[in-house]
Structure 1
Amino acid sequence: MKTLVLASVSLLALGALAPAGAADLPLYKAPVAPVLAYDWIGAYVGINGGGGLAHACWSVVAVAGVPIDPAVGEGCHNASGGTVGAQLGYRWQKARWVLGVEAQGNWADFKGSNVSFVLAPLNNRTTINSFGLFTGQLGYTVNSLLFYGKAGAAVAHDRYDEFIPGVGVVSNTLSQTRWGYSAGFGVEYAFAENWSVGGEYDHLFLGHHGGDLASAILVPPVRTERIGQDIDIGLIRVNYRWGGPVVAKY
């Protein structure tokens, strides 16, 4: 009988202690899966291609050195075409923010013309052979996707001339390198550890610049033109980056 009583008391004691012991045990937590984060830090080089549209307006401000005030407008035209080029840059990253600097150079073939309002049937023609951008970037990244804006200096090499439709005689020619500034935005997607592809839009503000067009066969012998010009550019870009790999963040 004593044995039965002792066994019963022992079982009751164990039952009372079991919940208290279980409460002291740590809860089991499943390991958190790492989130793969793309690191945009590093130098990169790439190629680009796309198209552009320049808007140019001509005005005569002097003839044979004699000023014309107010200037006489000759009309405006668009110069469009294709472009290919390359870019080189470096990016820094802090949390989700990305800073960068970049230099870009492009060959271009933008052409357009209009009939001069002053010297018809002569046509004024603008040809853009090349352009370059030297910009800073500010971006925001969502893992392998980067959204960014950019701004900085711009330069373009232009040729301005006049021709007679159906004859093709160039009567005046002016080559000019124009400096201004640019602003744009883009999006870039990292599809591999060191490779990314993206799209970008840039607007080049090249302002108004004057220049002399010396005539070879027509009068007046020299005209000074004031030409205003802006350029809109759309590009597809592919970059290769040297930098840190994709990292795991917990």
Structure 2
Amino acid sequence: MKQILLVSAVYFAFAGAALAADAVVTEPTSDLAPAGFVWAGGYVGLHVGYGRGNGNAVDLDDSFFDESIGQTHDVDTEGFVGGVQAGHNWQTGSFVYGLEADIGYLGLDGVNEILDEPDNYGSAKLGLYGDLTARLGFAADRLLIYVKGGVAATRYDVTFGDINDINGTLDGNSSESRSGGRVGYTIGGGVELALSEKWTTKLEYQYFDFGTVGLTDIQGDKAEVDIDAHTIKVGLNYRF
């Protein structure tokens, strides 16, 4: 709840900052976009927000977690996200469609360590990310309601395995760490409000699915980890 309230506070701060910036260079009566606001055109901006995700590991045999086939060990990840975006809109009547690209950082990480039986360990982390999405929306003057979807990629680090019963550390014979890049998909939606002819602000939800990472320990035992994330972001755009 604290994170959501913080994101909301940042959202309204963005809106206030944009209105203040526009007031410096325009007459007060022109701050608001006119009736029949035109959304077509290019834009750039930035976003910040909060995310939660999962790194869910499933034992594919009876040895990776030294228990049974299908045994799971889940890691919840969370953290703040941020980045920049750029895109272009086209408009036909009240329908707005376009393309948007994001580049940023998913600062989501988490650890789940269980020292008692079944004494499992897991950690997961997401880092740099980017996406390219198509947007489709309905405009009611200065308000745009939209959905989006496309391809996404991220940098990840995961470690899963058993805890050594003797010294309480990660068992090197029954664990593996993997890191690298993953490509997946993203879907989401949001609302965007025109504060003026040049500035818009948005509140957006986005889901990321980065697929499955395979793990194999030195004994040949296998597991797989599903990686996903949910984010809520606020953004500020400048229109060309």
1:120 deviation in Å?
A: 5.3
Confirm or deny that 1:100 pairs with 2:104.
Answer: no
Deviations 1:6-34 (A, max 9, x none): xxxxxxxxxxxxxxxxxxxxxxxxxxxxx
CA distance in 2, matches of 1:144, 1:107: 30
Q: Which amino acid aligns with 1:201?
A: Y
User: TM-score, length-normalised on structure 2?
Assistant: 0.72
Cα contact 1:162–1:170 (8 A) shared by 2? no
Residue in 2 aligned with 1:139?
137
Cα contact 1:111–1:128 (8 A) shared by 2? yes
Cα RMSD after superposing both structures: 3.1
Q: Which amino acid aligns with 1:84?
A: G
Cα contact 1:112–1:126 (8 A) shared by 2? yes
Which of 192, 199, 203 does residue 195 from structure 1 map onto?
199
Q: Which amino acid aligns with 2:94?
A: R
Confirm or deny that 1:174 pairs with 2:178.
Answer: yes
Q: Which amino acid aligns with 2:141?
A: N
Residue in 1 aligned with 2:54?
55
Where does the alignment leave 5 or more consecutive residues of structure 2 unmatched? 1-33
Q: Which amino acid aligns with 1:58?
A: A
Alignment of 1:69-108 (within 5 A): 71-108=69-106
Deviations 1:109-165 (A, max 9, x none): 11112236998545210011122221100011111111100011121211012597x
**SS of the residue 2:38 aligns to:** coil
Cα contact 2:177–2:215 (8 A) shared by 1? no
1:187 deviation in Å?
A: 0.3
Bigger proportion of residues as strand: 1
CA distance in 2, matches of 1:81, 1:146: 28
CA distance in 2, matches of 1:73, 1:149: 36
Residue in 2 aligned with 1:39?
38
Residue in 1 aligned with 2:209?
205
- Runs of 4+ in structure 1 displaced over 6 angstroms? 166-170
User: TM-score, length-normalised on structure 1?
Assistant: 0.69
Rg larger in 1 or in 2? 1
**SS of the residue 2:233 aligns to:** strand
Identity of aligned residues (%): 25
Where does the alignment leave 5 or more consecutive residues of structure 1 unmatched? 1-34, 214-219, 243-250
